[in-house]
Structures are given as C-alpha cells and as structure tokens.
Copies of this chain bind each other. A is one copy, B any other.
Amino acid sequence: MQPKIKDVARLAGVSVTTVSRVLNGEKYVKDDLKHKVNLAIEELGYAPSHIARSLVRNKTNLIGVIVPDITSSFYATILSSIEEAASANDYNLLVCNISEDIDKEYKYLNVFQEMRVEGIIIMHEKINEEIRNLIHKMKIPVIFSSVKPMDQQFVSVIVDDYKAAYDATTYLIELGHEEIGFIGGDMRDITSGQNRYSGYRNALTSKGIRIIHEHIRFGDYKVKSGYAQMKELLRVSQRPTAVFAVSDDMAVGAMNCIRDHNLRVPEDISVIGFDGSQLTELTRPTLTSMEQPIHEMGKETMRLLLHQVETGEEPSGDLVLDHRLVARESCIPRKK
C-alpha cells in the first residue's frame, strides 16, 4: 500500500494541510517545516495520489486519443507529436487503437467519459450516427486531426485535401502525363475519400483531359490495397503512365506491384503518394508525395484542444494547414 499524505504529516510532525501546502508550492510555510516535510516525503517515497487530487480539483489532466491504426507511420507520427505537446503541458494521454472496430470506439468513448478526460482527439472520420450523438452528449471538447467528418459542428485540423489532390494531379499533368491512374480511399470518408477524388477529377477536366473510368480505383489506404488496385490498373488496355495514390502506403504498394510486373518506376509509370510519411525516403526510387505537415498537425491539434479545455472557448473553425509537394525520384516527365 502506498503512503498517504497523513503518513507524511505524522512523520514530519505537522498537519496534512501543511504537507499539502508544501506539495503545491504555496508560500506561508516556514522553511524548517518545509524541509521536514520534504524529508518525510523522501523517506516514505510518497507520491500524491492523482486520483484523489482529480476528485477534489475536478481536473484530471487526461486527454483521450482515438487512432485508427497505430502501426501506420502517418498516425504514429501524429501521435508522437501529440504526445510531445501533451507532455510539455502536463497532460497525459489515454490511447485507443481502434483498428476499424467501431464497437471498440464506442466502448472507449464511454471509458473516456468515465475517466473524465478533459479533451478528445479523433483521427478518423468514419463517425456513425450513434457515435456522433454520443460525442455531442458527452460535452467534452473534441478535435479531429487530419480528417473532417460529416458533421459541421466538429472542428478539424487538416490540409485542404481537395486542393492538395488537385495539385498532385496537376503536377503529373505538367510532367506531360494524360493517362493518370487514381487509387483513392474510402468514398465514405469526406476528406481522404471524396475530397481527394474530386481534386483528381477536377484537375484533369480543368486541363481538358478526359477521365477514363477504368483508371479509377479505390482502396483502404494500406500497402496491400495499393498493390491490389495497381494490379487492376495494369490490366487496363490503355495503361496509365502515371498513378496518384491518396496515401503513401498505397503508393508504395503500387510501386511494388509495378516492379513485380517487371515494369519500372518511374521510367514506365510515375507514382505520386500522399501524406509525406517516413516511407517516402525509405523506398527506392524515393517517393514523390503530397506532404501534409504531420508534425505541425499533431502540435496544432493539441494546441487548439488545450486552448478550448483551459478557456472554454470553442475554436472558431477548422484549422487548415499548408500542404506541400515534395518531388523525389518516383515521378518523371512522360516519355514522348
């Protein structure tokens, strides 16, 4: 059993109030008493109970985070910068990795409420009716990071996914490509699904390029589905000379598929990804990608959330960060 404040008080020969005062760095405690108390704390190895403190202060310093897949480099990186910002502000993170399991998310949101977390960060946008209602009912500040769900009331920290996809596609067009394959995300996702798809389409049509239905495929953002969808694209009679995948993971899958079919990236097919994750530098050729400011995204998410937690003011709207195309080796001009 851990020592309590009472034990410290007894050993130091003072009241619990005095101990509490020392603990909380208040003045109005004589130096010699303060010294005695610290000695007692040291001797007992006492650490004040955060539980008891939370109860009386009505403050837990806990933030709940829901990650769709922690083994993905993109989410892991956001999470690490969220953790960094939390720690710097003396908040602690309760982490839930839902791995596509909606029930688990529901369960965890309940846990968050029971734990009285002061804020919640969610990194996916597959929010169903039930979850949406629960979130609203909980009345705990929530910020979405890297995604924007349907509900307009939710605040997000994102890039302009439409524009970013538009720019990525335009880059390929400017390299001379016209048959541009697209490996999209889940069309139930607004940001990563729909918006990126629209960006791709509009970039093509605005340059007067005809959209080829067979060049459009959809995956689940993971390496394997990038591979599988690329396989389909290679089957099309009019093979694309470039491919835009809406996640770096899928882009890597696509590159591997191309290579496994004895074609070369970028000589035969250029590939551009999306996210700017660590993977971009690991592959050979290195992967050209539409970079999201991942680190900043995590940091800003936490900043917005903590501001709301501590002031009660809701953010006035989404925070849209700048995307940036980072050209590497996987895209070259179309061969004449």
Chain A residues proximal to chain B, CB less than 8 Å: 2, 45, 47-52, 54-55, 60, 69-71, 73, 76-77, 79-80, 83-84, 87, 92-97, 99, 104, 107-108, 110-111, 113-116, 137-139, 223, 252, 255-256, 259-260, 278-279, 281-284
CA distance A83 to B110 in the complex (A): 17
Q: Is A95's CB under 8 angstroms from B83's CB?
A: yes
B residues within 8 A CB of A104? 87
Instruction: Report yes or no: A259 in contact with B278, Cβ–Cβ below 8 A.
Output: no
Q: How far is the CB of A285 from chain B (nearest CB, A)?
A: 10
Nearest opposing residue in chain B for A294, CB measure: B71
CA distance A54 to B54 in the complex (A): 11
Give, as a whole number of angstroms, the nearest-CB distance from A186 to chain B.
Answer: 21
Q: A51-B51, A284-B256 are in contact. Are A87 and B76 (CB under 8 A)?
A: no
B279 touches A259 (CB 8 A): no
Shortest CB–CB separation between residue A223 and chain B, in angstroms? 6
Is the beta-carbon distance between A97 and B80 smaller than 8 angstroms?
yes
A317 to B252, CA, bound (A): 42
CA distance A49 to B60 in the complex (A): 11
Copies, count = 2
Partner of A55, one of B55, B256, B281, B282: B55
Q: Which residue of B lies closest to A110 (CB)?
A: B47
Q: With A and B bound together, what is the CA distance between A96 and B83 in angstroms?
A: 7
Query: A73 and B70: CB pair below 8 A?
Result: no
Which residues of B sit under 8 angstroms from A73, Cβ to Cβ? Answer: 71, 73
Q: How many Å lie between the Cα of A79 and that of B95 in the bound state?
A: 10
B contact residues around A92 at 8 Å (CB): 94, 111, 115
Asked whether B55 lies within 8 Å of A51 as measured between CB atoms, the reply is yes
Q: Which chain B residues lie closer than 8 Å to A52 at the CB level?
A: 55
Contact across chains for B77 and A116 when beta carbons are under 8 A apart = no
Q: A48, B114: Cβ atoms under 8 Å? A: yes
A71/B80 in contact, CB under 8 A: yes
On chain B, the residues within 8 Å of A87 by CB distance are 96, 104, 107-108
Other-chain residue from B70, B71, B80, B255 in contact with A278 (beta carbon distance below 8 A): B71
**How long is the Cα–Cα vector from A70 to B72 in the complex, in angstroms?**
10
Residue of B nearest to A109 (CB): B47
Which residue of chain B lies nearest to A285 when distances are taken between CB atoms in the complex? B259
The reply to whether A2 and B116 contact each other, CB–CB distance below 8 Å, is yes
Q: A92-B94, A259-B284 are in contact. Are A51 and B116 (CB under 8 A)?
A: yes
A95 engages B96 (CB within 8 Å): no
